[in-house]
Amino acid sequence: MKKVQVSLMLLFILIAFFFNILGLMDLVSIFITAPILFISLLIFIIYLNERNRFRGF
C-alpha cells in the first residue's frame, strides 16, 4: 500500500512539473502551475518525513 502512495505522489509531481514547463513557455499561467508544483513537492517531503518518526513510549 505504501508503494502505491509513493508512486502516486511521484506521478503527481511529474504531472505538476510538466504543467510548470508549460507555464514557463507561457501556455498556462505560471501563477497557477508554480503553487501546484510546490504543494506536490511539499506533500511528498512531509510524507517521507512522517514515516520514520519516533512517537515516544
Domain-located, residue 46: yes
- What is the distance between the alpha carbons of residues 26 and 54, in angstroms, rounded to a whole number? 45
The radius of gyration of the chain from alpha carbons, rounded to an integer in Å, stands at 14
Domain-located, residue 25: yes
Q: What is the pLDDT of residues 1-43, one digit of tens each?
A: 678 998 999 999 999 999 999 999 999 999 999 999 999 999 9
- Output the pLDDT for position 8: 94
- Number of domains comprising the chain: 1
- Per the structure, the complete domain to which residue 42 belongs is given by 7-51
Domain-located, residue 1: no
Contact in structure between 20 and 33 (CB atoms under 8 Å):
yes
Domain-located, residue 29: yes
DSSP state of 36: H
Domain-located, residue 22: yes
Domain-located, residue 20: yes
pTM over 0.85: no
Domain-located, residue 57: no
